[in-house]
Amino acid sequence: MSDLEAFRAEARAWLDENAPDGVRGMKADELNGVWGGKRCEFEHPDQKVWLERMGAKGWTAPTWPAEYGGGGLSKEEAKVLSQEMKALDLPPALIGFGLTMIGPTLLRFGNEDQKQQHLPKIIRGEIRWCQGYSEPGAGSDLASLQTKAERDGDEFIINGTKVWTSYADQADWIFALVRNDNSGIKQEGITFILIDMDDPGVKVSPILLISGKSPFCETHFTDVRVPVENVIHEIGAGWTVAKALLGHERTMIADTFGSSSGGTRKPGERSFLSTLAVERVGERDGKISDPVIRDDVARMEMETKAFGLTTQRTADAAKAGHQPGPESSMFKLYGTELNKTRMELMVRILGPDALGWEGDGFDEFALDTTRDWLRSRGNSIEGGTSEVQLNVIAKRVLGLPA
């Protein structure tokens, strides 16, 4: 038996023995599952047990170094672990920006004290993070940010406002870009800094979207004093850190759309979209009765399957410690358009049932679909607009002149 086969047997036995019954079969992706943190609420008590056991084992972050509490696995072992979890129908014990964005960034740019302070807590799900990039006047043009950081001895005094900070009202820490110098070009004088959300002067205001629900918030900083030791990399060199982290964010978004594209199913089983179409439109001779809907469902299934398999390779590589490249912009661009098309198709399948907003006459699924369709319109804006992704692809993938 090879070392990898031995590890597979060991992993399978450990997972089978330690996975509580309540988490088996539960679904989770990059944005849907247990995020951890001090305000964490579990849908099922077994999720807490699962998180504690996987965190103690280091398998919430299987390839992160063991000295920080990670699993210390090779990328081949991590792939085997992922395969065994799927075989046992087990969800990730932990998701969130700690694992997908700030953790990999700390491993690359953080100093030893910063790694020791934050990485073990991320792995055990003890802290939840949000991202402080966009501002009211600096969204797609991120380098125009104006949240000010003024040096005062061993501290920075932070003043400004961040917007579209996902789950800021539930986060314990925020990783943020702040401007410490206006004298150079706009990409200079930016610092990447970590801020405790419990610090005096931090205020969070939820934002309600047209869909009627939202994870987004405005985050205000008024004379917030942050130790200089919370700066990641170098003062004024935050743009380098920010670009690296954006690659992780785009990979995460693409992975989310890939994993929501229909998932795996056994041969002969109908997909979710096919089942929905049969239920709502009807069936004739074993096929969806409306030929236009039938063609569109088939096309969507082929595109989403191909996209899911492609992004899975990149997501697996990222989880194994590889830094994302410009392909993350290609996936983000394609995935957002695919998700918008999928939601439009679902609304077409529902027909008049998709016209409801609340009240009697519409079932809960139809109401949720309508709201999710409205929410999907923002997919090509959040995480960097499609226009920004096209610029990245033109310059870094195709090599076109700026």
* DSSP letter assigned to residue 182: -
pLDDT value of residue 258: 59
Cβ–Cβ contacts within 10 Å for residue 105, how many?
A: 19
User: What is the rounded CA–CA span in Å between residue 304 and residue 83?
Assistant: 21
Q: Is the pLDDT of residue 261 over 50?
A: no
SS3 at position 179: strand
Q: What's the pLDDT band for 263 if we cut at 50, 70, 90?
A: very low
Q: What's the pLDDT band for 269 if we cut at 50, 70, 90?
A: low
Looking at the annotation, which residues are catalytic?
A: 249
Encode pLDDT of 132-162 as tens digits.
Answer: 999 998 877 888 999 999 999 999 999 999 9
What are the DSSP E strand ranges found in 135-269? 148-152, 155-163, 173-179, 190-196, 202-206, 217-227
Encode pLDDT of 324-353 as tens digits.
Answer: 777 788 888 888 899 999 999 999 999 999
Residue 221, exposed/middle/buried by CB under 10 A (0-12, 13-18, 19+)? buried
Q: Which one is predicted more confidently, 276 or 264?
A: 276
Q: Is the pLDDT of residue 213 over 80?
A: no
Query: What angle do helix axes 327-350 and 238-259 make, rounded to 10 degrees?
Result: 40
Largest CA-CA distance found in the chain, in angstroms, rounded: 77
pLDDT value of residue 92: 94
User: What is the rounded CA–CA span in Å between residue 335 and residue 188?
Assistant: 31
Q: Is the pLDDT of residue 264 over 60?
A: no
